[in-house]
Amino acid sequence: MTPPGTIRRTPPAWTPWRTVVAFGVVSLAGDMVYEGMRSVAGPFLASLGASALAVGLITGAGEAIALVLRLFSGPYADHGGRYWSLTILGYAMTAICVPLLAVTPFVGSIGLALAATLILLERAGKAIRSPSKSTLLARVAVSVGRGRGFAVHKALDQVGAFAGPLLVAGVIALVGVTWPAFAVLAVPGAACMVLLFSLKRHTDDPENAHEVASAPDAAPAPVSTIVEPRALSVQFYAFATSCALGTLGLMTFGVISFHLVDAGLVSTAVVPLIYAAAMATEAVAALVTGFAYDRWGAAVLYTLPVTIVAVPALTLAHALTVVLAGVLLWGAVTGVQDSTVKALVADLVPQRRLATAYGVFAAFQGVAAPAGGVLAGGLYTEHRILLVVLVGLLQLCSAVLLVLALRRHHQDVPA
């Protein structure tokens, strides 16, 4: 209890750039934890008795949770300004759930169910924190330029996505089994939480964050937890459906890593190294297509359906070099979906509906992710050629919808 008359001293607020970098370092540590886990999720679940179908279902459902729940966590954060609370809760779920995977091989018949539950809870943590973290970062980045602020944050984020799988690979190579790697990930998880609490102490009072989260010249909008889909345009829904079909054809890395080990192409210890290479490709693709989008417009996205068609054919091949090429292609497509695609979403809808648009767009992706996981996992064993053909047909539909969305978008944009 503070004695009467004592003045409470608030730690001085950090400069905007220091705060942006601090957010990036928090994301770096958090990415080390969950990307390290995701890099070996497929082989690890298989070691607990999961089939290819089960791996596809679990990892696909995880991606669905990470996307669909944002449709609710974002408006909920806006409704009460609970940005810090939800950010801390989301990171804590990741920092706790991933290291707990280390105990799943020792609990007998419930090991697979426990592992699946922990993976899904970790993905729920991602959904809970992402909208709130982005709001807090956007608030700070106003002073330094949001484009540069988010770019620096993304660069640091990908350092963690690259380092986490490398750490996991090193531990597995050293001890020969997977579970100790999850225990080691408790270290960056703890560092993430310490950094996050330190960042909160040195950031201005967040209670009014929702009042300044939008651009300084933006008119204040009433807060609502109700999504208004009719406020969004036809071309937005065409684009969202096109990208959802792309996600449906783009398998989760859990299925790809399952194939790498199941086909005897690499050992489990090598899988995280391959995943790290995909993460590096993701960062490069995001930068390249992002600059290309600013220079030449949305036409650069026509490469998505064409590229996705090749992913299952390459990643499920029996030659390691072909599979590696497919993994790098998978990483490049994922990078475009996580960056440049979002830029076009912002151009397709009114700014006052942007948060709603991102929520609806994430919901489309969230429905497609588990469907794609089940499709790939179910056809993996005996019907891979059928899988490639179906993905090709889906991407043909995706390309048609993309053409319609972009043509109408260009017609609506003044000369």
Closest CA to 408 of 290, 244, 246, 236: 236
The whole-number pLDDT of residue 387 equals 86
The whole-number pLDDT of residue 59 equals 84
How many domains is the chain built from?
1
The whole-number pLDDT of residue 210 equals 43
The whole-number pLDDT of residue 220 equals 41
Instruction: Determine contact, residues 356/222, Cβ cutoff 8 Å.
Output: no
Per the domain annotation, does 11 fall within a domain? no
What does pLDDT average to over the chain? 81
The whole-number pLDDT of residue 409 equals 55
Under-50 pLDDT residues of the chain: 6-8, 205-229, 413-415
d(CA 61, CA 350): 31
Per the domain annotation, does 152 fall within a domain? yes
Q: Any idea what the CATH number is for the domain that residue 367 is in?
A: 1.20.1250.20
For 30, the token pair is 């958090």
pLDDT, tens digit (0-9, with 9 covering 90-100), for 270-284: 888 898 888 888 878
Domain containing 385: what range? 16-210+229-412
d(CA 192, CA 28): 8
Per the domain annotation, does 2 fall within a domain? no
d(CA 134, CA 139): 9
Q: What is the 3-state secondary structure (H, E, C) of 47-69?
A: HCCCCHHHHHHHHHHHHHHHHHC
**337 exposure class (CB count in 10 Å sphere: 0-12, 13-18, 19+):** buried
The whole-number pLDDT of residue 223 equals 39
Helices (H), 101-208: 111-141, 146-175, 179-184, 186-201
d(CA 195, CA 199): 6
